[in-house]
Amino acid sequence: MNTRRKFIAQIMAVSAVLSVGVGSVSAQIWPSRPIRVIVPLPPGGVADYLARVLAEPLRSALGQPILVENKVGADGRIGVEYASKQPPDGHTFVTIGSSSVAHTALFKNMPYNLVTDFAPVSQMIRTPFVLVVGPGVRANSPKEYLAFARSNPGKITFGSSGVGSPFHLSGELMKSMAGVDMLHVPYKGSGPLSTALLSGEVMSAFVPIGPFLQHIRSGKLRALGIVTGYRSRVLPDLPTLAEALPLPGFALDAWIALLAPAGTDKAIADRLSGEIGRIVRDTQFSKEYLLRRSYEPLGSTPQELGEVLKAGVALYAKIVRDAKIPAE
């Protein structure tokens, strides 16, 4: 019996060594062919732009072409589902944004799980957003804005670029944490929302800084506070809402990250994460391709992105539950 046990133990030890060896060899010869980056949204958006500007420096670093493929539908869910079913060989990746995390709370029977069906690679950039008011609103600070909302329940309107977007859910988070009653008015994108704000059709909105920066700087729109948990490099003197109100813990973030199918070799994820971090944090690259659009470079590790995903899923579930938004 002892001989048999020793034999089994030896076989298990050899198997463990071989499995580690296979993973190491896989990472050493990676990439062996062109790498596909699935963008689950139409061309022209932030994720598409980022994937394309990263393609050339990544090709130079990895020695293989980076092929960007737009697989659109269902507000990004079709492309993400497609990526989840690809072989975990390190040659297919997918971009996601914070809206993808919100989807986990907004839709029933999701065909994938962002935490278990994917291997995190890197949170590449973040895009701060801001609470703005239109020209007819007599509020010059977040405190004045909330005071108006409290004295006029249900009368202050806040717009967003769509139901369930992080910008919509920022307003729902404020309603919940500050105990105010505000009316959400959804629009089909930033363009119609901008027109509505400037005309006074809607009183306020939670918006990304980039597309609205010219109106903020011209004074046509008034920025009251940064929604995210950090100040913006573009508007460094503008406090966060958590600072100004104060509402400790009030923060939602918009970002773009890269995932791989679950089972992808960790060494591959680590190497790609390192290359992305090196590129986006490069002073010249970030100045030319990111900061001028109000995108802030991150280049996180896989482990850091994994924690962001877990925390985000829990936070959005709470926001949607507190706001009583029915899942579709």
Average pLDDT score over the chain: 91
- Give the range among 21-30, 105-114, 173-182 with minimum mean pLDDT: 21-30
Amino acid letter at 82? Y
* pLDDT at res. 246: 81
pLDDT tens for 55-85 read: 999 999 999 999 999 999 999 999 999 999 9
* pLDDT at res. 172: 94
Strand order of the sheet with strand 183-186? 183-186, 157-160, 204-208, 129-133, 222-226
Query: What's the rounded mean pLDDT across residues 190-218?
Result: 93
Residue 165 near residue 99 (C-beta atoms within 8 A) = yes
* pLDDT at res. 191: 87
Phi-psi region of 186 (alpha: psi -120 to 50; beta: other; left: phi over 0): beta
CB count in 10 Å sphere of residue 193: 24
- Whole-model pTM: value is 0.87
Query: Rounded to 5 degrees, what angle do the CA atoms 247, 248, 250 make?
Result: 70
The more confident residue out of 165 and 20 is 165
pLDDT band, very low/low/confident/very high, at 1 (cuts 50, 70, 90)? very low
**Could you give all domains of the chain from N- to C-terminal order, each with its CATH number?**
35-127+254-323 (3.40.190.150), 129-244 (3.40.190.10)
